Amino acid sequence: MVFASPRSYMLLSLAAAVSTIVLKTVAWRLTGSVGLLSDAMESVVNLVAALGAIWALTLAAKPADRSHNYGHFKAEYFSSGLESVLIVVAALAIIYAAIGRLLQPEPLAQVGIGLALSLLATALNGLVAWALMRASRRFNSITLRADAHHLLTDVWTSVGVVLGIVLVKVTGLTILDPLIAIAVALNIVITGWKLLHETASGLLDRSLPAEEQETLESLLASHKTEEICFHALRTRVSGSRRFISFHLLVPGTWTVQAGHDLCDQLEREIATALPRTHVLTHLEPIEDEKAWEDQGFRWEKG
């Protein structure tokens, strides 16, 4: 399945969240398993997260305006931040419910149909997570990536819960059900922490990932000659966009047109190598660098 915008994928995630909530809630009510309850609670988090992501992607898609000259791309980080917090809250709620079941164990009922419903919901989440992960690479969207990771966590959670219920049925040890729910909750906390760290890193204007930085530096190096060099290279990531700036040094005898043409060429090449990138160049005479070096100063290379 291929959609034209990240928002369309989040609508798919929203529909999947509603469907899995229904399936997992019915499975929990039939079996009485606290593990399936924890699974259903995580799907509620998926629903809230999908709603937040749709809002964030809608805002991020708005064009730049007088108050936001660089656009609204960072709105995506609010969505991933919300999702990471919700994941941790859901984990704490699961642990609370599991502790109650540890203190008062109860036998499971109608395990067969409950597991069938849970596995159906798991398959649905897995399919949607796969679609979101592919779309996140296509649109370079942290929101889609965060939701895909969350759904994948939900898939593994469900698999763990199903295995736990099977073990309870085989061994008769009802205590395994809440213990597995707690283990699942701890795994969810780890996922939430990773998402929160990635969100904080983005809000602090981190530079390009190492692989993209190397691509950029290699491209600039291919243009470096006796007469052309670069310094003050700066990069930052904002949601699905990249911002790059650098100083281009050329002979002072060049015409303005020649310098401008080289700047345009570099900007086009960078945009081709790194899609969704805004490039800002500053043209300077290379004689300035040589004059500083002749006086014993080291030019800042950025």
What CATH number should be reported for the domain holding residue 164? 1.20.1510.10
pLDDT tens column, 106-120: 677 777 788 888 889
| The total number of residues written for the chain in this structure | 302
**162 and 45 within one domain:** yes
Q: 229-238 and 241-250 as β-strands: parallel, antiparallel, unpaired? A: antiparallel
Question: Which domain does 13 fall in, by range?
Answer: 6-203
Q: Domain check: are 156 and 266 in the same one?
A: no
Q: Residue 280 sits in a domain of what CATH number?
A: 3.30.70.1350
Alpha carbon distance 164, 169 (integer Å):
9
Tell me the C-alpha distance between 37 and 98, whole Å: 9
In the prediction, which pLDDT does 239 show? 65
pLDDT above 70 (res 124): yes
Write the pLDDT tens digit of every residue in 180-235: 778 877 877 887 787 777 777 767 767 888 888 899 999 999 999 888 988 889 99
In a domain, 144, yes or no: yes
Contact between 227 and 251 (Cβ < 8 Å):
yes
Of 203, 226, 249, the residue that ends a domain is 203
DSSP 64: P
What's the pLDDT at 289? 61
User: Does the residue 300 lie in any domain?
Assistant: no
What secondary structure letter does DSSP report for 285? Answer: E
Same domain, 37 and 164: yes
Confidence of residue 299 (pLDDT cuts 50, 70, 90): very low
Range with top average pLDDT, 117-126, 155-164, 236-245: 117-126
Query: Whose CA is closest to 51, among 16, 22, 24, 2?
Result: 16
Task: Judge whether 255 lies within some domain.
Answer: yes
The pTM for the full model equals 0.62
How many domains would you assign to the chain? 2
pLDDT at 163: 79
1 lies in a domain?
no
31 shares its domain with 137: yes
Q: Are residues 194 and 234 in the same domain?
A: no
Condensed to tens digits (0 to 9), the pLDDT of residues 34-55 reads: 777 777 877 887 787 788 778 8
* Pair 91, 15 in one domain: yes
Quote the mean pLDDT of the chain: 80
Is residue 143 in some structural domain?
yes
Left if phi > 0, otherwise alpha if psi is -120 to 50, otherwise beta: which for 239? left
